[in-house]
Amino acid sequence: MRMKPLMAASIGAGLTLLAVFLVFNLRPGEQKIETQLKRHYSTADPQFRRSMGVLLGPPIVDGNLVEELINGDRIFPAMLDAIRKAERSITFETYIYWSETIGREFSKALIERARAGVKVHVMLDFIGSIKMDVGAIEAMEAAGIEVRRYHKPVWWKFTRLNNRTHRKVLVVDGKIGFTGGVGIADKWRGDGQDTNHWRDTHFRVEGPVVGQMQAVFSDNWTKATGTVLDGDAYFPALAARGDQAAQMFSSSPTGGSESMHLMYLLSITAARDSIDLSSAYFVPDVLTLRALAAAARRGVVVRIITPGEDIDSKIVRAASRDSFGQLLEAGVRIAEYQPTMYHVKALVVDSLLVSVGSTNFDARSFSLNDEANLNVIDSAFALRQRAVFTRDWAQAREVTLKQWQDRPWHDKLTGNLAALVGAQL
């Protein structure tokens, strides 16, 4: 008889702990943007560039060279080549790192450089790297690589378990940077040729903006280790390497969590002619829906590519499709990529601004994850990315308003239910 009060107390304590966990892990870190931005200027106005630099944090710097790398057959060789040529330092932060063939190639290259005396620092998200063999991490550490698992579950940090680092940043010798959508897993190998090989884009960067990329890595490294990476092994003097203006900025629930959201809203609101959005996980909030619809209504050609049936999260697709109606009614064009999973994360506005990086078009990226994006302001570069987008559009199936309205009742129900948890997708 005496066990019943004890059991009740234990259950009560457990429920209290669960409630605390949910409150602290599911709430956004900072006050959200609550009102739609007013359109004070277009992308052609010098004020657009000033606002992007001031409101997002780091300044927009000139003299950069950014090269797009389409799919794993071009992405991974470029990254591995840079690692193998490293002379002083390698800093690498990624969400997914699995122990598959490409993971072993990266581990081997990183270990070889560490044994050669290069300072190697690797930041892996705990959840994203959960499929990585412990032995692979131990081999890295034995070679002298500093490896950290971001927000590894421990009892004194249980309120941060829902905050993941989704950033994808590789910097070599403080001079060459990479960012984009790929993780270190075999599904990113190949050329997007079938359902086992995903479509994605990554970017190779040289020039002064690489210093900002390094600072993004250093931000989380300092949070995780208490150690500041400094000196010319990490932050060398960087000469101009091209003629592109760029900035690398980050967001996190612990600081600047609304930076990504603000960047998208600023860009969409300032658009004059065109918006091309590639989004692997497209679950927009009310403000973003209104901004995209308003752009279409004032004559901007808005095109959005999302994944089709081949997607790694059916609930995300259901929530995404639930949002299509308001956009289609406003004249936004939406198409679903057919050949394979579409993992590209890119925004091209007015053949001028290109924003690429780790950020998905959803509340998780805007409020809960640590993210990082590279903004490039350059018309020639933007025109190239529009051409890439147009090629992808040709392999996507456009969704009409009538098709969306006539979708089966069970799709509507699933979409409505998925939309209820949209902030966590």
Catalytic residues: 166, 168, 173, 343, 345, 350
Dist CA 85 CA 87 (whole Å)? 6
Residue 385 Cα distances to 38, 66, 351, 365, 422, angstroms = 27, 11, 8, 22, 29
What are the tokens at 338?
Answer: 């057919």
Strands 201-206 and 61-70: antiparallel
What are the tokens at 391?
Answer: 């090629």
Q: What is the DSSP letter of 158?
A: G
CB burial of 230-246 (b: ≥16 within 10 Å; e: otherwise) equals eeeebbbebeebbebbb
Q: How many helices (H) and strands (E) in the chain?
A: 14, 17
* 42 contacts: CB under 8 Å, gap ≥ 6: 48, 270, 271, 272, 350
Burial of 161 (0-12, 13-18, 19+ CB in 10 A): middle
Dist CA 221 CA 163 (whole Å)? 15
Cα Rg, the chain, nearest whole Å: 22
Strands 146-150 and 119-125: parallel
Residue 216 Cα distances to 229, 364, 374, 413, angstroms = 11, 19, 11, 41
Q: Which of 369, 421, 27, 333 is nearest to 165 (CA)?
A: 369
Dist CA 91 CA 159 (whole Å)? 27
DSSP 208-236: THHHHHHHHHHHHHHHHHS----STTTS-
What are the tokens at 135?
Answer: 């032995």
Q: Which of 35, 68, 43 is nearest to 278 (CA)?
A: 68
Measured between its terminal Cα atoms, the distance across the chain in Å is 45
Query: What's the gap between Cα 233 and its chain centre?
Result: 27
